[in-house]
Structure 1
Amino acid sequence: PPYNAPGPDHRPEDPPQLREQEFEVIMDRNRTVSSSAIARAVSDAAAGEYASAIETLVTAISLIKQSKVAGDDRCKILISSLQDTLRGVETKSYGSARR
């Protein structure tokens, strides 16, 4: 296989209780949680409401981490976007606190 393609035995079977349809429903919910949390946090941070922005992001990260599909790569990408946004907000909040 191409050098970065997973081998044939790479993909563990999904647990039987998590059907494709349920997976998609949870994934969609996680995407919605992520995008709305980022939008709200950015708008809060712009208004100087850093504590609220941080709380929104931390809550979203923990919701996604607790979901049944948290181990999926797409979820990891959502979590890392949220964490990047969180770091940005924290950096801004420290900057404003020092002024």
Structure 2
Amino acid sequence: MLHRLQHQHRAGPEEPAAARTGWSNQGIRQTVNEFSEVYTVKAKVWEAAGMEPMAGCLCIGCLERRLGRMLTPKDFMRNHPFASLLVTKRLLARRDGRLSTPTIHRGSGDA
């Protein structure tokens, strides 16, 4: 099974791997559960984190670490279909301001 970077390299920089080869044909299993952080932030926020459009995924903690600040509700795209998916308490705290004192998660990921 290919990991994300191998999959992107294989497709080339001009087009995301999923668009050209299809996720289902590469052994990449996609699941959304209570631990998933599926969201969309505004393009300027994604770019400020050093990310190219459609160039990968980051958990909320890794995105915040790259930005050097906590996300706020204004950072998120409001009427995006992803906003209706299951979310973590951390994502709700940032996206909707539902928790009074959210903390920055220092994930162990390699993003």
| TM more than 0.5 | no
TM-score, normalization by structure 1: 0.27
TM-score, normalization by structure 2: 0.25
Structure 1 or 2, whichever has the larger Rg, is 1
